[in-house]
Amino acid sequence: MKKHDELPIEHPDPLISVLHKTIKIAIRILAVLMVLVIFWGVADVFYVMYKQLMEPPFLLLDLSDIFKTFAAFLAVLIAIEIFQNIVLYLRTDVFPLRLVVATAMMAMARKVIIIDFQFVMPMHMFALASIILALGITYYLLGRNHDETVA
């Protein structure tokens, strides 16, 4: 990826230069906070697994316990993808749109995996399907556009 100048450090206007530096610092702080969230999420995965395994029947998981564990795992994976978005932005100053769409698709996949079909209305399912379809088409089109610019 080429480096773009959306947030150039050096700018003819001193105020704009200071504001861009401030935004860069804020992005770095977000990256550090996201790492903390990831570690907190990993601890939560351990806690959820421990809690589910220690309840009777011991060392056995039923289907709802497995879904709770999946939800905790996927939440950590989504946090890792968000961290990757932040790092990629810091390295290149380019907003990683395709990676953001992939992260959104993972979040929707998490929603589908943990959804309790007993409490979901059909319109909610149609809305979820529409979002997933729109994200899939967007991801495809972004990839197709990228392939055309590289070739």
pLDDT band at 2 (very low <50, low <70, confident <90, very high): very low
Interval 16-32: pLDDT, tens: 888 888 988 998 999 99
Exposure of 97 by Cβ count < 10 A (0-12 exposed, 13-18 middle, 19+ buried)? Answer: middle
Q: Are 88 and 116 in contact (CB under 8 A)?
A: no
pTM of model > 0.85: no
Q: What tokens were used for 51? A: 């809690």
Contacts of 57-64 spanning 24+ positions with Cβ under 8 A: none
